[in-house]
């Protein structure tokens, strides 16, 4: 069944001067205005479209791709504020409403806000909410240590970076586990480091175990190749330098170059590491 606020694959059932009408099942026939109609479209074709309400609350279809759809968490820019709330640019002609009741604080034009897209029961409109807690799962987390997960960065805290796990649970990446620049709304791959007894989840951005070292050794080799086979960094270098160059801890770096040394792919000199020519 076709759904408002989502992408749908719909059949063309009628051609008019205004555009094409698409069969949206229980939602009825929905107009795809001429400006969005792909060339050579005809009755019977199936088109991938997004369904939304226009400024007069009429159902419309578009082939444009918004920045998010119903159920997503996304960082969007505030483009207007009025008595109804803040309005966010989500890539469609009609901006997305963030009602005052769904705000954590007053927002100003130009700010970015991490929000969840939901359907308002009263108006049936797609709206945004910055109150993310109510859209996340409160049941015990089902994750295993070392499990790969998709993360959406929510923002910095005293402990580290707060993140949404698989659009479902909260987790935290502690400061010592952050080796790259992160910002709210950023989507990254992460791993479950530990599910604590209080059901809170510790996260890491580096693959646990040997897989992490394999990835890092390849990164070291790539950097050496880009720098004519030599880099002025060793296992005794400043941890801040290692973090800046490779985005990892000094311990992980030492394991990686130790592995490369044993494989006879590098030599470790007093002033740096050198790629062995073969």
Residue by residue, DSSP assigns 110-170 as T-EEEEEEEE-TTT--EEEES-GGGGS--SPP---TT-EEEEEEEEE-SSEEEEEETTTEE
Using CA atoms, how far apart are residues 87 and 131, in angstroms rounded to an integer?
16
Which pLDDT belongs to residue 240?
84
What share of residues in the chain are helix, strand, coil (percent, to 5)? 20, 40, 40
CATH number of 73-133: 2.40.50.140
Other CB atoms within a 10 A radius of the CB of residue 52 amount to: 25
Other CB atoms within a 10 A radius of the CB of residue 156 amount to: 14
Distances (CA, A) of 175 to 48, 187, 229: 42, 18, 32
If one compares 102 and 181, the residue with the highest pLDDT of the two is: 102
The sheet carrying 266-269 orders its strands as: 230-231, 272-275, 266-269
Other CB atoms within a 10 A radius of the CB of residue 97 amount to: 20
Other CB atoms within a 10 A radius of the CB of residue 128 amount to: 26
Q: Give span(s): CATH 2.40.50.140, the chain.
A: 7-62, 73-133, 148-204
pLDDT in tens, 173-211: 998 888 788 999 999 999 999 999 999 999 998 877 655
Topology, domain 148-204: OB fold (Dihydrolipoamide Acetyltransferase, E2P) (2.40.50)
pLDDT in tens, 211-267: 567 778 888 888 889 898 898 998 888 888 888 888 777 888 888 888 888 888 888
If one compares 9 and 177, the residue with the highest pLDDT of the two is: 9
pTM > 0.85: yes or no: no
Interacting residues of 181 by C-beta distance below 8 A, sequence separation 6+? none
Other CB atoms within a 10 A radius of the CB of residue 173 amount to: 24
The 3-state DSSP class for residue 20 equals strand
pLDDT in tens, 140-168: 999 999 899 999 999 999 999 999 999 99
Residue range 16-33: mean pLDDT, rounded: 95
Closest CA to 145 of 188, 192, 88: 192
Closest CA to 53 of 130, 135, 127: 127
Q: Give span(s): CATH 1.10.10.10, the chain.
A: 210-275
The 3-state DSSP class for residue 236 equals coil
Element (H, E) at 210: helix 210-226
The 3-state DSSP class for residue 194 equals strand
Using CA atoms, how far apart are residues 256 and 111, in angstroms rounded to an integer?
41
Q: Please say whether the beta carbons of 95 and 88 come within 8 A.
A: yes
Q: Which CATH superfamily does the domain covering 7-62 fall into? A: Nucleic acid-binding proteins (2.40.50.140)
In this structure, whether the domain defined by 210-275 belongs to CATH 1.10.3720.10 is answered with no
């Amino acid at each position: 069944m076709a759904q408002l606020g989502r992408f749908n694959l719909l059949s063309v059932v009628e051609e008019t001067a205004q555009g094409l009408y698409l069969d949206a099942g229980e939602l009825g026939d929905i107009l795809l205005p001429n400006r969005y109609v792909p060339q050579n479209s005809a009755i019977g074709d199936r088109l991938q479209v997004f369904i939304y309400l226009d400024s007069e609350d009429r159902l419309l279809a578009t082939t444009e791709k918004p920045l998010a759809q119903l159920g997503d968490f996304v960082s969007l820019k505030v483009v207007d504020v009025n008595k109804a709330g803040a309005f966010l640019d989500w890539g469609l002609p009609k901006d997305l409403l963030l009602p005052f009741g769904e705000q954590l604080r007053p927002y100003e034009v130009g700010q970015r806000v991490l929000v969840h897209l939901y359907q308002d029961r009263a108006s049936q409109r797609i709206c945004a909410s910055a109150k993310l807690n109510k859209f996340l799962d409160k049941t015990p987390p089902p994750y295993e240590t070392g499990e790969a997960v998709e993360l959406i960065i929510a923002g910095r805290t005293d402990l580290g970076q707060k993140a949404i796990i698989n659009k479902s649970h909260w987790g935290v990446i502690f400061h010592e586990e952050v080796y790259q620049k992160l910002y709210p709304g950023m989507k990254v791959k992460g791993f479950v480091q530990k599910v604590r007894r209080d059901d809170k989840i510790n996260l890491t951005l580096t693959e646990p175990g040997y897989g992490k070292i394999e990835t890092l050794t390849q990164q070291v080799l790539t950097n050496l190749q880009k720098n004519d086979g030599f880099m002025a960094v060793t296992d005794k270098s400043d941890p801040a330098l290692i973090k800046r160059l490779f985005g990892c801890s000094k311990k992980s770096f030492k394991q990686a170059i130790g592995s490369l040394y044993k494989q006879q792919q590098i030599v470790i000199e007093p002033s740096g590491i050198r790629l062995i020519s073969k």
